[in-house]
Amino acid sequence: MTALAIAFVPGVSPAKWVRVWRERRPDVDLVLLPVEADGVTAAIEGEADMVFARMPVPEQHHAIPLWTETAVVAAPKDSPLADLDEVTEADLADVTVLDAGPVPPDVSAALDLVEANVGVVVLPQSLFRAASRKDLVSRPLAGSPGTRVALVWRDEDASELTEEFIGVVRGRTANSSRNQADQPGGPDPDTADRARPAKGGGKATASNAKTVAKRSATKGTGAKSGGGKNSTGRGRTPRGVSGKPKRGSKGNR
């Protein structure tokens, strides 16, 4: 049976997409590979076709940012911070913050220190929930940009199956057409809306722009003057450019 291997870091659950995939493609075995946060590169260069990882990711890999995780402060239940609805940087001024950064390198060890009242730690809310520490509480960190979760893959692993899985993650139905921004090798999703052609027309080109300008000028001179007819006639309607994305060269596993 054909297989597609998807890895994921702690705190990130691909369950909802796995369910859709298995309903849609029962003929393809979807293999799930849990990996540590520092094992993303090894996974994607090894067994995994794609990885759900936290950004930043290596520049040579493709990444589709999916959502932003809320940053929380983990503190003991009897901490003054536990009485707050959210924590600000000012609230942390006189508190020891362990493993400063968006994600602690060793979440379990960091939370052990928090339980021992050594300090507090900032981490993604999903990681705190996954740790399930009953003696600790979490409070949102006001003003924090949070962490971005992305679906990551390499050109070498791109295939019809990876394109189809991207479609599942993007929420496309089984019969919907692929959008260029969703395809491996397509434009960055953060800039895709700026690059996408306007509705009802093809991709704008310099030639089309000139033709449209010519038509506008022609219409302007078409007003009746002494009952005469516009001698220049109408400009030719510009031809649209096909909205179908070009398929890049993909490697097959």
pLDDT at 183: 40
**Percent over 90 (pLDDT), the chain:** 58
Residue 177, exposed/middle/buried by CB under 10 A (0-12, 13-18, 19+)?
exposed
Helices (H), 116-227: 125-131, 160-170, 189-195, 206-220
* Confidence (pTM): 0.66
**What would the two tokens of residue 33 be?**
């590979």
Q: Is the model's pLDDT at 58 over the cut of 60?
A: yes
Question: What is the C-alpha to C-alpha distance for residues 223 and 226, in angstroms, rounded to an integer?
Answer: 10
Neighbours of 138 (CB within 10 A): 24
| DSSP-based three-state secondary structure for 2 | strand
Do 150 and 55 touch, CB atoms closer than 8 A? Answer: yes
Cα torsion angle, 123, 129, 131, 134, sign: positive
Q: Is the peptide bond before 56 cis (omega within 30 degrees of 0)?
A: yes
Neighbours of 3 (CB within 10 A): 12
The tens digit of pLDDT for each residue in 98-124 reads 987 778 888 999 999 999 999 999 999
Give 213's pLDDT tier (boundaries 50, 70, 90): very low
Q: How many CA atoms lie within 13 A of 98 on its CB side?
A: 22
Q: Is the model's pLDDT at 137 over the cut of 70?
A: yes
Q: Is the model's pLDDT at 229 over the cut of 90?
A: no
Residues with Cβ within 8 Å of 161's Cβ and at least 6 positions away in sequence, in order, are 2, 4, 28, 49
Q: How many residues does the chain have?
A: 253
Residues with Cβ within 8 Å of 47's Cβ and at least 6 positions away in sequence, in order, are 5, 7, 31, 33
Can you name the residues that pair with 68 across neighbouring β-strands?
A: 148
The tens digit of pLDDT for each residue in 147-175 reads 999 999 998 889 999 999 999 999 988 77
pLDDT at 176: 63
Q: How many CA atoms lie within 13 A of 16 on its CB side?
A: 5
